[in-house]
Each structure stands twice: as structure tokens, then as C-alpha cells.
A and B are shown apart, each in its own frame.
Chain A
Amino acid sequence: MRMLPCADSGLLVELDDLAAVRGLHAALEADPPAGVTDLVPAARTLLLRLDPAKADVAEIERVVRATPPAESADGRDELLRVPVVYDGADLGEVARLTGLTEREVVAEHTGAEWTVAFGGFAPGFGYLTGGSARLEVPRRAESRTRVPAGAVALAGTFSGIYPRESPGGWQLIGRTGLETWRADRDPPALLRPGVRVRFFEETGR
């Protein structure tokens, strides 16, 4: 466990793996130390957002080190089926990078069960893990200034769905009509940590 301060606004806790992140996240969510305003889980880190007026960083570091991991509270048994038209602008590039054919990329993407590991990037965006190891690709060298809502993408070992139009640097392989985010719906995000996801192919419209 490594503690990386973000001035007086945050404490970035670096952990060994995603399981450790989820264990610490669950424990701190149940009993947040004084001065912590929000928790941002990611692949290998948990960011504690701090209220600069209230947080005692040294004390929070001590509490975090002494906190045993907890069982993740989500334990959701939900399976979300996501229809995808596989015609993304980077499908050919992903095939080249992985040494697969475009059809094999689709087969790998639809053949695996993914799980939402954590959110971030945009409201309703879920980082999907546990899919096919053969689909590991780097982010694009240049970010796009505009990626459409519903774009289905890959980066690193993750897959994801852009919940709304935004800039983005992931490799686009397809698109879905599923509305993964609506602020006025309960829950607003379909892709919450713990939700399992299965992609299936829809023919182009």
C-alpha cells in the first residue's frame, strides 16, 4: 500500500490489485474517516477526496493503513444484456493490433462475460473487466474530440460504453442503443460496480 498525496484535496492510495481496491473501498464506504468527502475506486488505486478545511491527512493515512478489507457490499447478481452493432471506426485497427480478424474480435467480445469493476471518466461509464485477454489493446495515440453516445470501445484490458457524446481515446469497435445513463432514473447508472455484462451482436441499421 502506497500513499500518494494530491496536495490538500486528496489522498491516492495505491494497492496491489483490483480486489484490494474493492476491499478497501467497501470498508471505507461503510465507515469513512472524518474529512473524506468521496471515494473514487479505479484499477489499482482508491482516491480519497478530502475537504481541505476538515481533513487531517496524517490521521487519515493512519486510519487507512489500519483498515482491514471488507467484503464488497455490491454482490449484485444482475446480468445486463447489451445489443451491439459492430461497425466501430477502430474495428480494423483492433484486429490488426490483436492479430485477429474483425469477425474474431466480435466473437471474443460477445463470447465473454464482463463485470463492471468501477466507474469514472463520465457519469454512467463502467470499466468492464474479466472479458477476453486476447482483446488487450492500447488507447489511441490521439484522443477523439467527439465520440458518440452508445459507442462500445476497448482500451487496455477493459471494455466500456460511452454513456453520452464526449471526447475519448478508446478504440471504438461498435455501438449500442441501450441508454446506460439517465440522471432522472433510479438507478441513474445501469453499469454499477458488480453488474455483469454480456454483449450480443445486432445487425446494422
Chain B
Amino acid sequence: MSGGLEVLEAGPLSTVQDLGRSGFAGIGVGMSGAADRSSLRLANRLAGNDEAAAAVEVTLGGFAARALRPLTVVVTGAPCPVTVGGRGAAPNALVHVPAGAVLRLGTPERGLRSYVAVRGGVTVAPVLGSRATDLLSGLGPEPLCPGTVLPVGPVPARWPSVGFAPVAPLAADELVLTVVPGPRHDWFTERALGTLLAEPYTVTSESNRIGIRLDGPALDRRRDDELPSEGMVAGALQVPPASRPTLFLADHPVTGGYPVIAVVVAADVDKAAQARPGLRLRFTARGRRTR
């Protein structure tokens, strides 16, 4: 089945995302996929899709699209006003969009990224096993623009088990993220780790799907030599010299040459992906190892 959703407005940034690519890290292909994976999964579950189906990741709202045939959609993530044909619709719930009607997402009052799952999934051509747009490496479909027509797959045989999901509100001005120190906390002074766990850091406007550049107290190193480049994960707090940490998100580079002082646990990386510039972050440690 083709002809699904015609994009009319794409806002600051709208991309197709699924759960990303695996198995190509050896040739430098990162995972990518939804920045807030739990919101994508929730949208797909509510729509009765496979959790890994591709959907639209909308950054700071401003998205509008026309249904080219009757569609069922679910909007999750950053809570924004949703309308269908000008009438209000609920987030985190099944929404029917008649053929020809326009689905519109306003600006979220909190958070950064909303997800629009369509029952049947967005079925653009996969690249290296995924439909995700990787903005660092330029893989996958181009960011959406007015006129883009997104194909939607056949409606799955099963019906969604629930039609609505309660979701905890997103942080308004301070977000606490759990980290595990390491893998390279021994490259920093004992005080640096203490600082990271005690002082607030602010999300700067130099933030995107690759990472969130943070502003806050400097984290001093114990050693000045160069770290041979090594594999990175989403959630890594990488600290360049004479600089503040960067929190890596979905499109982070596969390897990096600066030491990682701590890693945010996977569930909290999804929360970090909703952090707007200006939001205060605090880090709390779990499973700290001393050596």
C-alpha cells in the first residue's frame, strides 16, 4: 500500500526514525534511530505496530501533514497541541485521520521531540537495515520538507491492546539523570567526578541529535596525554580538553578520542533527549566503582 502522509509543514526539524542500525559499527555506521526510544516504542505499541516500526520524530512541533487515505495515528513524546481537521485530539492515544484531513502538531509546552506513529508504519526505503535518518553520517532519508510523501505500510492484523497510555509529565526546569562513572573517570581528578555529581549543568543551544553540549563547572583531567579513539555509546558524557561535557544522543559518532567520565543509563538517555536549551541537569551516580 502506498500513498500515506503528505508533509505540509516540517517545523524546525522532522525526520523519519525507527530503532536504528546494528551490525555496521565496524565500518563506522552508528546506531541512530529515535532520540527518545521509549516514546517511539510507546507510539508504536499504541498504534498496534511492531515497536521497531518507523515513525516521524518532530522537533519543537510545527509539523502538519495530510492523510492521503484514512489513517490511524498516535502522537507521543513532548506534549504538544494536536489537531485533526482543526479539531483537538489527544496525545498518547489512537487518533483517526480521515482521508484528506490535516494532522497538525503545535509547539510543545515542555520537552523537545514528539513522535507521530502511523498504524502500518512509515515505509520509506531502508538503508543498511534501518529507515532512520542519521544526521551525523547523512544516512537514511533526508529530513522532511513540505511536499514529502511518506508511504505507509499495510495495517497490521492485530489491534492495539490499549487505546490510551498515561505518561509522566516532562521536567519543567530541572532534570535528574542517573549515571554510572566510567569508562574513563580515572582520567579525571577525584574532584572532577565530585563536581559532576554535585553541580548543575545547563543544556546549551549547541544541542542536536548528535549530542547536548552542557555548560557548567570545568571537569579537570588528571592526565594530559591523548586517548586513543574508542567506541562510544549514547548517554556518554565525553569531555574535550578545556571544555564542558557533551552528552551523546542517538546520532553520536561511533568512536571518539576524548575520555568519557560517566555514562547516563539507557532509560534516562530518553529523558535527556527531551531536554531543551536552558534546562538544568543534575547527575546522580549508580553503581560507582572505585579502583
B-contacting residues of A (Cβ < 8 Å)?
Answer: 4-10, 12, 25, 37-47, 49, 52, 118-125, 127, 138-139, 141, 143, 156, 163-164, 166, 169, 183-184, 187-189, 192-193
Please, how many angstroms separate the alpha-carbon atoms of A192 and B233 in the complex? Answer: 22
Proximity bits, B208-242, A CB within 8 Å = 1, else 0: 00000000000000000010111111111000110
Q: Are B229 and A120 in contact (CB under 8 A)?
A: yes
The contact of A12 among B23, B179, B230, by CB within 8 Å, is: B230
Given known contacts A7-B235, A7-B264, A42 and B26 CB-to-CB distance under 8 angstroms: no
On chain A, the residues within 8 Å of B139 by CB distance are 123, 183
Chain B residue numbers with a CB within 8 Å of A7 are: 179-180, 233, 235, 262-266
Cβ-defined contact, A37 with B228, below 8 A: no
Decide if B166 is an interface residue (CB 8 Å cutoff): no
Cα distance A192–B254 in the bound complex, in angstroms: 15
Q: Is the CB of B228 within 8 A of A43?
A: yes
Do B231 and A40 have beta carbons less than 8 Å apart? Answer: yes
What residues of chain B have their CB less than 8 Å away from a CB belonging to chain A?
A: 22-29, 31, 127-128, 136-139, 179-180, 182-184, 226, 228-236, 240-241, 253-255, 257, 260, 262-267, 269, 287, 289
Q: Is the CB of A40 within 8 A of B182?
A: no
Beta-carbon contact of B28 and A121 below 8 Å:
yes
Are B29 and A123 interface neighbours, CB within 8 A? yes
21 sample A-B contacts, Cβ–Cβ < 8 Å, listed by A number: A4-B182, A6-B235, A7-B233, A9-B233, A9-B234, A9-B269, A10-B233, A37-B23, A39-B25, A40-B25, A40-B255, A42-B229, A43-B230, A46-B231, A52-B266, A120-B25, A120-B28, A123-B29, A125-B28, A169-B257, A183-B127
